[in-house]
Each structure stands twice: as C-alpha cells, then as structure tokens.
Amino acid sequence: MCNLYAIMRARAEAAALARAMTDRNNNQPPIPGVYPDYLAPVILKAEDGSREMRDLRWGMPSSKQALFKAASDRADKLRVKGKEVDFTELLKMEPDKGSTNVRNTTNAQGKTNAHWRPWLGPPNRCLVPFTSFAEPDQDYERTRKNIWFALDDSRPLAFFAGIWTPHACVRMISKGWEEIEAFGFLTTDSAEPVKTYHAKAMPVILLTEAERDLWMSDASWEEVKHLQRPLPPGTLKVVGQGDRKDDTPLI
C-alpha cells in the first residue's frame, strides 16, 4: 500500500488547479514526505458548496471489526494478569492508527463495502494533491526500498481520489482522545511501471479536470466508481529510489 508521498509544488498552485476558493493554511511550505497521520493539504467541499483547501490527517477510521479484535486481544492479556477489564472503555480507547488506503469499496457480494459506504458519497469525496508517491519494492528485487513514481521527471501536480471525515479516536495512547479530520485515498490494481515493483495495488489518480470535476460533483457513488481503475500502462515514470522523502529540485 502507499504510505508515503510528496507535495512539492506551492499550495497556491494546487488550490488553483483544483479550483479551491480558499486555503486555511496558505503559508505552509512544500512537504517532501507525507506519512500516515501527518497533516497534509486536501481539497474538499465547504458548506456553501465551494471548494476549500485545508489540512487533514492521513488515515481514515479503521473498521469496527479490527478495533474490536485488537481490544479483545488486549483484554485477554489483561485478564491473564489478573486485572479487571472495563471492555467498553477499553474499546473506546483502543488506538486507531487509521487506514491510509481505501481499496475494497465492494464486498464479495458485489455490494458497496459497509465500512466505506458512509464516506463514498459527494459530501465526503475530496482531492489529495501530490507530486510523487512511493511504493516499497516487494516484487522486483524485493528490497522493500522505496520506489518513487510521478507523471514525469518534472513531478507535475496531480491528484489522488480521496475521501475524508470528521473523526474522534485515540491515535496514540500518549496523546489520548482526539477530535480530528481524517482523509485517505482510493487504491486499485497496479499498472506499469508500479506493477513491476508493487503488484498488489497503486493509488487512484485523477488525470484530467473532467475526472476531478466528476469526483467532486454531486454524482452518486454508482456514477463515479468507474474512476477507481488502473492508469494506462506507462502513464507514470520511476523518478527516484530509496529515499524516505522526495525533495528533488524541479526541472
């Protein structure tokens, strides 16, 4: 899965390309490495229907099933030690690191995945600007080193198809309960050159203004779900290897 990307163009450029009318953090510098739970710029719909750029934390809510299992395992370990367990409180405080990637939007029965369904509609769809993203080499040399991809060597702006939501959870035990705004982006089957290194999946990238407008429109999930598809082979290019950030000067 993609757990690292960069946004090295000016925020104003990203906002203009996405036709965002306002930016709440317009003085923030470029980010050579965005990691899970980092704040990053996202374009979403404001209450008046206009587009707004603001910083959200990367990682959508984890599934209730996953959190329940983790809390149950934690409870079992505490009981073995002879400690009393308030499972309701334990479940509430179970750390939710978040889901950065949104892959399985359809279940085995062909229906919209119940976990993702609340956020696939128009109010929760967003655009996530990036200039490059990294996938670990799992399938070529299997070194797991980062392989960086972009549309070309100049690393032009592009956008992932994202979703977002207000969320309340514990990200880290040391920080406790937090109220945040979270985002993630859709993934799909890999296409070359990503497939050579990471055959499992790659982010969903919206290449054209028309695709971005459709994603951000009032269209239903049924009308936009075809955008969750691989890019034509060769659309992307390998632009770097190994680094944990991408701050290569623009050409």
Which CATH number belongs to the domain containing residue 218 in this structure?
3.90.1680
pLDDT(241) > 60: yes
Q: Exposed, middle or buried by CB within 10 Å (0-12, 13-18, 19+), for 156?
A: middle
- Whether the pTM exceeds 0.95: the reply is no
**Domain interval for residue 230:** 1-60+102-124+155-169+192-241
Q: Give tens-digit pLDDT for 17-41.
A: 999 999 988 778 899 999 999 999 9
pLDDT(10) > 60: yes
Say which residues have a Cβ less than 8 Å from residue 174's Cβ, sequence separation at least 6.
none
How many angstroms separate the CA atoms of 127 and 118, rounded? 17
30 domain residue, yes or no:
yes
Say which residues have a Cβ less than 8 Å from residue 7's Cβ, sequence separation at least 6.
14, 30, 31, 34, 40, 41, 129, 130, 131
48 domain residue, yes or no:
yes
Q: How confident is the model at residue 249 (pLDDT cuts 50, 70, 90)?
A: low
- From 218, 215, 193, 213, select the one nearest 204 (Cα to Cα): 215
Q: Cis omega before residue 95 (within 30°)?
A: no
The more confidently predicted of residues 78 and 204 is 204
Q: How confident is the model at residue 8 (pLDDT cuts 50, 70, 90)?
A: very high
pLDDT(251) > 70: no
The pLDDT value given to residue 64: 87
200 domain residue, yes or no:
yes
pLDDT(169) > 60: yes
Domains contained in the chain, number: 1
- From 181, 170, 165, select the one nearest 67 (Cα to Cα): 170
Q: Give tens-digit pLDDT for 69-85.
A: 988 988 989 898 888 88
The pLDDT value given to residue 84: 87
97 domain residue, yes or no:
no
Question: In this prediction, what percent of the chain has a pLDDT beyond 90?
Answer: 76
251 domain residue, yes or no:
no
118 domain residue, yes or no:
yes
pLDDT(173) > 50: yes
Whether 179 and 161 have beta carbons less than 8 Å apart is answered as no
The pLDDT value given to residue 215: 98
The pLDDT value given to residue 250: 54
How many angstroms separate the CA atoms of 106 and 57, rounded? 25
Average per-residue pLDDT for the chain? 93
Q: Give tens-digit pLDDT for 92-134.
A: 888 899 999 999 998 878 889 999 999 999 999 999 999 999 9
Q: Take residue 187 and report the two structure tokens written for it.
A: 């993934």
